[in-house]
Structures are given as structure tokens and as C-alpha cells.
Amino acid sequence: MNQHRTVAQDAAKGLMIISVIFFHCYLVTFAIPGEALTKFNILGALFPFLLSSFFFYAGYNYKPNERTFKQNVARRAKQLLLPLVFAFIISTVLISAIELAFNHSDIKGTFTLIGNTLLYSLMSEPLAIISGFAQTHGVVYELVIALGLLWFLYALFICSIFFYLLVKHTNKSLPTLISVDVVLLLIAFCLGQFVGVYLPYTVQSYPVILAIMLTAAYLRQYNFLNRKVVSKKDSLLKGINMLIAEGIIFGTCFLCNRLFGSTLTGSLPGGKFDEVLRGFDAFIAFGFSILGTYFIHTLCRLIKFIPVVGKSLQWIGNHSAIFYLFHPIFLDLTGVVIFQKKIVWGHVQAFFYVGIIVILLTGVCFLFDLIFKKKHNNERAVEQVRKIEDPEDI
């Protein structure tokens, strides 16, 4: 576990990644792909901050170090771009194999769909839609989901470059932070309001993401998420604040839907702003990142005291990258092999998808843990033998 993270943070990430998986399972239980994005639902109104909270934690985990800017960027590239390339290749190979083996008898046609999907994803969905490619070419929807979610990695990497340039300045001065945040949110507002809510490579969301990360880094200095609870009064106050934060989030989503008809208020799915709220959604997403992270982190500070639930969520949170990057593979496998791409129980089927996917991914993670633990133990044993044989190196 990252030494800068807490049990509550890992549990929160575990809970959020399960929610992300559920959302993708919910998407595929609609007769028309993507229809879920045009319908208001209670779960979306309760947890619209899932993606923005991951960005918040990315900024919150920052600690000043002696690395140069180039060293920080190189380290971030290794953390984000290598997994992106690896996940792109593995997802393409395995989902294509599943489709060829189980889902289509027309091999030539399936290869055409796979090729279309790769081009669609490399173009980025917004550009594919703007150019008309999405309307004229068929794709493998499950592979679109698998490759589309990789936007999180390249968006985080690009924003991290600017983050490292600015964070030392914004951390020193609240007026500087506020000034930078205002400028960034105004840029996002103008992009969303006057250019488009879903631009190529989701560039409209980058200023919001950067503002979230910088604010989180600043709040980390004051232990925003992990202030000690020393009395029952403190505990009660945190509980009340947590409920108020979630109440503001749900109330905003509900009112925006009733007043304006918005369905994606502050949720940034794929970096997209709500089509009704447009640029104003940038300000809402920014606010939700702070309130939502406070809510789910405080909730998980309580959940961690429930032994089985807390430990399970913490373990999943520690493996959240694997769950995030590879759950579409198991989503396709479950849909094709078990359900044969038939919607038997409507949207309730999404819960069965989630259960099966989490069980399968848990097995994969346990296997990886065993392999890497064995490798680590072997390396330690070799090192101990080397020290015994050559004590001058000690």
C-alpha cells in the first residue's frame, strides 16, 4: 500500500471502483448502447463524484519531494502511460478473442468491427462522432468501453504535467490557489459553453481535473480528510458534515434534473459535461469532487471498523488499478459466455454482472499477488545468500 494513503482511502477507492464497474454493467443492460447516459437515475445522483474523487485523491496524495520536474514527469509516465499501453493491447487481444470464439460466426465481419473499434478509440469517441465515423461504422461495444476508459490515464498524465509546474506555488498561498482555480474553471466553462461538452480526447475536462488536483494538494496540508476524532462531539459533527455534503450533491443533481432536464450533473463520464448544463457543469463537477470525496472518505472511516466489509473494500482498493483497467474483459466474457448477450432480468442483471466480475477479478488479483510475492521472496533469498557469500558488500 502507498505509504501516503490511509485504510479509509483504500476502502473508498474499493467502494468507488465497484460503483464504476456497476455503471458499466448498467450501460450494457440497456437495449440501446449509451441509453443510460440520457436517463436520470437515483444511483447517478447519489454518486456523481466517482471519477472526480479519483482525481482528487491523485492530488491529495502529493507530497513535496526533492525530485526535479523532469523526474516527476518521467515517474508519472511510467505509472500511467505504460499501464495504458499494456491495457490497450491486452484488452484488444482478449476481447477480440472472446468475440471471435463465442459471439460471431462471420470472422471477416468481426475483424472489420474490431478494426473499426480500434480506429474509433484512437480517434477518441468525440472525434469519431464529430467526423461521422461513429454513425457509419459498426464497432464492438464492449471493446469501446474497455479502450474508452483509458482516457482517465492520459488525462491524468497530461494534467499531472501542469500540476507539477503549479503545485509548489498554489500550496504556498491560498489567494494564488483561488486565482489559478478560477482561471482554470473559467477556461473549462468557456470550452463547454461555447465550443463543446465532449471535445476530442476530452480536453474540455482538463482544466477542471487540474483545479481538482491542485485544490486537493492544498487541502492535504491541513489534513482535510483525516482530522483526528477525539470526542463523541467530533464524531457526531463529522457525521453531520458527511450527510450535509451528500445532501448537497443529491439535491443539486435532483434540482438540475427537474429544472433543466440534466442527467449527468457533475459526473464527468468520459470527461463529458452534461449536455444541458454545458460549461456550468465544470463548476458543479469541481464542487462535487470536494464534497463527494469528503463524504465517501468519512463514510469509509466508519466502514473500516466493520471487519469483513472494511478489509474487503481495502483489499479491492489496493488492487483498484487492475479492477479498473481489466473489468471490461470480464464484462464481455460474462455477457457472451454466461448470458449469451441476452438481457433476461432487465437492469437487475447488472448486479449479477458485478458479482461475477468482482469474483473473477479477485481470483486474478490473488494469483498475481502469489506470483509477485513468490518472486519477491526469491529475490530476497538470493540477496541474503549474496550477502553471506560476499559480506564486504553489506
Length reported for the chain: 394
Distance of alpha carbon 87 from its chain centroid, rounded? 14
Residue 47 within a domain: yes
How many structural domains are present in the chain? 1
Residues whose CB falls within 8 Å of the CB of residue 234, separated by 6 or more in sequence, listed in order: 228
Residue 26 within a domain: yes
pLDDT given for residue 143 in this prediction: 92
Residue 33 within a domain: yes
Residue 388 within a domain: no
- Closest C-alpha to 310, from 302, 318, 319, 298: 302
3-state class percentages of the chain: helix first, strand second, coil last, to nearest 5: 80, 0, 20
pLDDT given for residue 1 in this prediction: 42
User: How would you write the pLDDT of the chain (394 residues) with one tens digit per residue?
Assistant: 444 567 899 999 999 999 999 988 888 876 555 566 677 777 788 899 999 999 999 999 998 888 899 999 999 999 999 999 999 999 999 999 998 888 655 676 788 999 999 999 999 999 999 999 988 988 988 899 999 999 999 999 999 999 999 999 999 999 999 999 999 999 999 999 999 999 999 999 999 999 999 999 999 999 999 888 777 888 889 899 999 999 999 999 999 999 999 999 999 999 999 999 999 999 999 999 999 999 999 999 988 778 889 999 999 999 999 999 999 999 999 988 888 878 788 778 889 999 999 999 999 999 988 887 755 555 454 344 334 334 333 3
Residue 391 within a domain: no
pLDDT given for residue 340 in this prediction: 80
Domain extent, residue 30, equals: 7-368
Residue 385 within a domain: no
Residue 65 within a domain: yes
Residue 390 within a domain: no
d(CA 261, CA 276): 7
| 66, 29 contact by CB (below 8 A) | no
